[in-house]
């Protein structure tokens, strides 16, 4: 069965729409550039096929690959590239999470990041909770150890008092910024490709 | 015929295969650009005889990365066919990289061939 120009167009458009969906968070001009290039590929293959049948078009798209497989390849490469020049902890940490699934180094960096951010959030939580539970939140000494946070104060002594609020804020900010800077610096060792492109 | 369990295990792992091809594909693309600029489909046609490409669409993200790494430059050009084509060419850094990748690969191929020869000969006889 031969396909009309309109059928052809619809099929290509739906392929490109799926591709666009799996491209994710790329900048719009890059998305347009990618779609234009892939459209050109399909059209030129179609022209070379002579009289275009449904089967031929299906074959062209099959050899090209599934949009869901190709889209993420762009994304993975762009994600690391963008995270490297970003200061957003969310973007950086997400990129590190992906990296952690690929290699032992990535996993190690992920663990450091997780510890650093947990510490930062812990500090901030101390500051935020102190006014609400003044008797239970603090920096505690006793039982041969030191800890910061929420506890029943029976056998321990609180040493910071209300100072825990500024200490928590500064400690939290320093932990989060230092962790972000460290992760960002480590990303230079992350591979550019999430998985094989062949 | 459906391969048996042991035959399945004897087949190379898909991930290993694609990793192996991925490294070669990058070099192969750079080499096709050695003599001048080409657009995506022309690169694919040059590489058609190699069993490197499983899905054609995968070369485009790879070309994008080579461009981000400043090894190739890309420029759009209108064509007679009615749709514009994106042409890729090697930058100076790309030429240097291609040459050193080619030398390193050629050395590795020699070494691997020597390593594999006895094993493959044994299988033949």
Pick the CATH number of B11-124 from 1.20.58.220, 2.40.340.10, 1.10.10.10, 3.40.50.1820: 1.10.10.10
pLDDT-derived band at A30, boundaries 50, 70, 90:
confident
Lowest mean pLDDT among A68-72, A111-115, B119-123: B119-123
| Shortest Cα distance, chain A CAs vs residue B37, angstroms | 16
Query: A42: part of which helix (H) or strand (E)?
Result: helix A28-48
Smallest CA-to-CA distance from A82 within A195, A165, A196, A192 is with A192
The interface pTM score, or ipTM, of the predicted complex is 0.83
Which of B45, B60, B76, B81 has the highest number of chain A CBs within 10 A, making it the mutation to test binding with A? B60
Mean pLDDT by groups of 10 residues along chain B of 125 residues:
58 78 90 96 90 87 89 92 91 96 95 93 76
| Shortest Cα distance, chain B CAs vs residue A104, angstroms | 17
Asked if the C-beta of A27 comes within 8 angstroms of chain B's C-beta atoms, the answer is no
| pLDDT value for A78 | 65
Around Cβ A164, how many Cβ atoms within 10 Å?
23
Asked if the C-beta of A157 comes within 8 angstroms of chain B's C-beta atoms, the answer is no
φ, ψ for residue A165, nearest 5 deg: -65, -55
CB-defined contacts A:B, below 8 A: 89
Which residues does chain B have within 8 Å of residue A197's beta carbon, measured at their own beta carbons?
18, 22, 25, 58-59, 61-62
pLDDT-derived band at A6, boundaries 50, 70, 90:
confident
Which residues does chain B have within 8 Å of residue A195's beta carbon, measured at their own beta carbons?
18
β strands within A30-144, DSSP E: 137-142
pLDDT-derived band at A195, boundaries 50, 70, 90:
very low
| Shortest Cα distance, chain A CAs vs residue B113, angstroms | 23
| pLDDT value for A194 | 39
DSSP assignment letter at B79: -
The larger pLDDT score, comparing residue A154 to residue A20, is at A20
Question: Which residues have CB under 8 Å from B13's CB, separation 6+?
Answer: none
| pLDDT value for B10 | 64
Which residues does chain B have within 8 Å of residue A196's beta carbon, measured at their own beta carbons?
15, 18-19, 21-22
The pLDDT mean for chain A works out to: 83
Residue in chain A nearest B78 by alpha carbon: A40
The residue ranges of every structural domain in chain B are 11-124
Give strand pairing partners of A146.
A141
Q: Which DSSP string do the residues of A137-191 spell out, in sequence order?
A: EEEEEETTEEEEEE---TT-EE--GGGHHHHHHHHHHHHHHHHHHHHHHHGGGS-
Interval A56-81 mean pLDDT: 84
pLDDT-derived band at A89, boundaries 50, 70, 90:
confident
**What sign has the CA pseudo-torsion B90, B50, B64, B96?**
negative
Residue in chain A nearest B83 by alpha carbon: A40
| Shortest Cα distance, chain B CAs vs residue A47, angstroms | 9
Interval A65-92 mean pLDDT: 78
> Are A196 and B21 in contact (CB < 8 Å)?
yes
**pLDDT at A138 exceeding the cut of 60:** yes
């Amino acid at each position: 069965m031969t396909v009309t120009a309109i059928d052809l167009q619809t099929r290509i458009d739906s392929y490109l729409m799926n591709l666009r969906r799996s491209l994710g968070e790329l900048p719009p001009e890059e998305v347009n550039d990618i779609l234009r290039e892939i459209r050109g590929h399909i059209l030129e293959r179609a022209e070379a096929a002579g009289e275009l049948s449904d089967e031929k078009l299906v074959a062209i798209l099959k050899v090209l690959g599934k949009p869901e497989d190709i889209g993420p390849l762009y994304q993975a490469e762009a994600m690391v590239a963008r995270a490297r020049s970003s200061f957003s902890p969310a973007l950086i940490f997400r990129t590190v999470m992906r990296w952690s699934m690929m290699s032992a180094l990535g996993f190690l960096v992920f663990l450091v990041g997780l510890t650093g951010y947990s510490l930062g959030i812990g500090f901030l939580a101390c500051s935020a909770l102190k006014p609400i539970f003044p008797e239970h939140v603090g920096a505690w000494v006793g039982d041969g150890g030191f800890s910061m946070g929420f506890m029943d104060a029976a056998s321990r002594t609180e040493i910071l008092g209300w100072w825990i609020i500024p200490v928590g804020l500064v400690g939290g900010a320093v932990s989060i910024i230092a962790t972000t800077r460290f992760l960002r610096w480590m990303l230079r060792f992350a591979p550019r490709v999430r998985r094989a492109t062949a | 015929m459906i391969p048996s369990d042991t035959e399945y295990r004897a087949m190379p792992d898909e991930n290993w295969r694609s990793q192996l091809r991925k490294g070669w594909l990058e070099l192969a693309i750079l080499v096709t650009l050695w003599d001048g600029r080409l657009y995506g489909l022309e690169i694919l046609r040059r590489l058609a005889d190699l069993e490197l490409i499983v899905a054609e669409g995968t070369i485009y993200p790879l070309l994008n990365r080579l461009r981000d790494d400043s090894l190739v430059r890309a420029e759009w050009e209108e064509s007679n066919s009615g749709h514009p084509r994106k042409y890729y060419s090697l930058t100076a850094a790309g030429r240097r990289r291609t040459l050193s990748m080619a030398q390193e690969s050629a050395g590795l191929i020699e070494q691997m061939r020597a390593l594999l020869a006895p094993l493959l000969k044994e299988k033949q006889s």
